[in-house]
Structure 1
Amino acid sequence: MAEQVDVSKAVEGIGKVFRSASAQLIEQVESVKEAAKETVDKMAVKAPDAYEEAIADYNAAFAGMSDKGLSLLRQRERSADLIEFVELLVNSIANTPKSFETSFGEIGDYKAEFLDAEEFARKDLEAAQRSAAGAGAGFAAGAAVASVAPTAAMWVATTFGTASTGTAISALSGAAASNAALAWLGGGALAAGGGGTAAGGAILALAGPVGWTVAGATLLASIALFAKKKFDNLAAKEEALAAVKRNTASVKSDDAKIDDLLQKTTTLRVELVKCYGQALPYFGADFRSLSDSQQQELGVLVNNTKSCAALLSRRIERDVTDG
């Protein structure tokens, strides 16, 4: 009988242990569930910010456009080098038609316009960097201008043009030069957020915050977030949001145009390489001693060279925005 009592007590004790452990486990599970619920609630409270999403969309669009712009610059530089080789070949051939000379005069003009735009961008970027490093330039201005690579300035200048609406940066000093340096980067586009800098000369004809992100997408984001703090009311924020979206649409439109020009430039350059290779055996020949088909080959070479050169100076017409 005593053994039965001991067994009953033991079973009861084991039951208490299991019940206690089960209760603790339930409490732990409830705690985890409660913590998870709090986490979900916190995540739900912070809804995605439409302005930040718009900035991210803009940055992504610009990154794609910038990549294509750099690719276009490289293709054009290769085209310019190839044109020089073609010119050397044609000049080595005696008694070529007068039309060849006329065509190469036009080809030279196209090539010079492209190379001049590159040089303009390089020199004026250097002037902008010197101005930003001088007195009167803020940290953001200095960082923006200093971080711009020459290739970034050159692809922008050769793609969109070097139209100047004011005095060149190199002719300015002090605060005016700092403002011009910012305008060179398209800084005035953030006027909707309180950061416009229209003074001085906007060297590159860029509407929208395109120029800011030449120096890096993060710079635009930081400026935009800083500007967001200045929004006094919902209407101001909505206005800024609309401005960013307009600029994003403009960048995407530019991207499509640059891509089209890139494809045309690449196709023509590849064709010109082929024509040049076929005509190389005629180096130093007399045009009059060549067969009709050989003379026609040279004529096609000159025409293709002219078409390729014409694309060197082709500029992208940007859509006008209200931003």
Structure 2
Amino acid sequence: MAELFGIDLFNTEYKKRGVNKLKKYVSLYKHSFANLKFNLLLLNDNRDTLSNDLSNSEQIIDNIKNKPMELQTKNIRLKQESKNYRTFINEVKDKSEEAVKLTKEGTSGSAALGAAASLGGPALSALVSSLGTASTGAAISGLSGAAATNATLAWLGGGSIAAGGAGVAGGEAVLGAIPIVGWALSGVTLAATGFFVNNKNGKTAKQAYKKAEKVEAGIKSTDLLSNKENILSNETIRSSTNIEKLNDEATEFPNDFDKFTDKQIIKIGVLVNNALSAEKILQKSLKSAS
């Protein structure tokens, strides 16, 4: 008899409630994780769109003859910032794919890196770029095993300590700040296997409740991160829409600045200034999203 006078003598119900609670939160976590991944992919696409819009702005301004020095100077600055951004984002994409490949091959040796890489290359690159991680130029593709893992972690940490970055420890800290790390491993594995079957009911229940609390905290953190990514994505969309509209108007302008009307002079100035502001939006980090 499991109960006597309403008392759960062998903690059978206690265990059942604990395990069911953990399974419930694991299910909710999976939904939260999927939502985060969706928002990251959306941010990635929206940033690519804005970057292309800015390339069009540069070309439009480049094609104008007899530009005043101020307009030329601003366009040079715009092109340089665009080049820096594209260089950085391409490196992030390449190395995110390398991190994913590393974990698929089972050679990363890092549970944290493996959990982050489970997002997939495009989503991971959107996450890393929005964390504001510095570009290091470290070669990872030619490495393997622990060396490859350490190089990847150092890159996530902003480079080696010798190069002014935070090194491997910095990379682990970056991943440690990402709520996806560890939650799937600590929650799903325990709920999906027969781990609880062979343990005493009381001990099992306590472990289940403890894990459930961690997964619940992970859900809250993942939802917060997802919300911040969504804010960045929406801001990027608004900027892209604005730049695209200004580009469309500017394509109707003469290709000689000397033939511009006063209204067109103002419009081209608005375009280049807004384009410079849009570059800053492309490089915004999660810290500035609220």
State the partner residue of 1:77: 48
CA contact (8 A) 1:110 1:312 kept: no
State the partner residue of 1:315: 285
CA distance in 1, matches of 2:278, 2:229: 16
Q: Give the count of matched residue pairs.
A: 261
1:234 to 1:208, Cα distance in 2 relative to 1, 3 A: farther
Equivalent position amino acid for 1:272 in 2: I
State the partner residue of 2:258: 288
Give 1:298 shift: 0.6
More relative contact order, 1 or 2 (CA 8 Å, 6+ apart): 2
Give 1:225 shift: 3.7
Equivalent position amino acid for 2:275 in 1: T
Q: Are residue 205 (structure 1) and residue 143 (structure 2) matched?
A: no
CA distance in 1, matches of 2:227, 2:91: 26
Q: Which moved more, 1:300-309 or 1:109-118?
A: 109-118
CA contact (8 A) 1:161 1:205 kept: no
CA distance in 2, matches of 1:256, 1:243: 20
Give 1:245 shift: 2.1
Give 1:227 shift: 9.4
State the partner residue of 1:277: 248
Question: TM-score with structure 2 length normalisation?
Answer: 0.69
CA contact (8 A) 1:64 1:255 kept: yes
State percent identity of aligned pairs.
25
The secondary structure found in structure 1 opposite 2:99 is helix
1:306 to 1:238, Cα distance in 2 relative to 1, 3 A: same
Equivalent position amino acid for 1:306 in 2: L
CA distance in 2, matches of 1:263, 1:141: 29
Equivalent position amino acid for 1:293 in 2: K
The secondary structure found in structure 2 opposite 1:63 is helix
Give 1:318 shift: 9.2
The secondary structure found in structure 2 opposite 1:59 is helix
CA contact (8 A) 2:74 2:272 kept: yes
CA distance in 2, matches of 1:74, 1:245: 30
CA distance in 1, matches of 2:153, 2:192: 16
Give 1:108 shift: 3.3
Which digits, 9 at most, give the CA deviation of each residue in 1:235-273, with x for residues without a partner?
A: 554443333222221221122222222222111211211
CA distance in 2, matches of 1:51, 1:183: 34
Equivalent position amino acid for 1:279 in 2: A
Over alpha carbons, which structure has the higher Rg?
1
* Partner of residue 304 from structure 1, selected from 268, 271, 274: 274
State the partner residue of 1:111: 82
Q: How does 1:217-232 map to 2 (within 5 A)?
A: 222-223=188-189, 225=191, 229=195
CA contact (8 A) 1:160 1:318 kept: no
State the partner residue of 2:159: none
CA distance in 2, matches of 1:151, 1:107: 26
Q: Which moved more, 1:309-318 or 1:227-236?
A: 227-236
Give the unaligned 5+ runs of structure 2.
1-12, 157-167
CA distance in 1, matches of 2:45, 2:216: 30
CA distance in 2, matches of 1:210, 1:254: 10
Question: TM-score with structure 1 length normalisation?
Answer: 0.63
Which digits, 9 at most, give the CA deviation of each residue in 1:295-316, with x for residues without a partner?
A: 0011111122122221111111
1:278 to 1:61, Cα distance in 2 relative to 1, 3 A: same
Which digits, 9 at most, give the CA deviation of each residue in 1:115-146, with x for residues without a partner?
A: 234322333234435544668567x9998788
State the partner residue of 2:221: 250
Equivalent position amino acid for 1:86 in 2: S
Q: How does 1:16-31 map to 2 (within 5 A)?
A: none
* Partner of residue 57 from structure 1, selected from 28, 53, 73: 28
CA contact (8 A) 1:117 1:154 kept: no
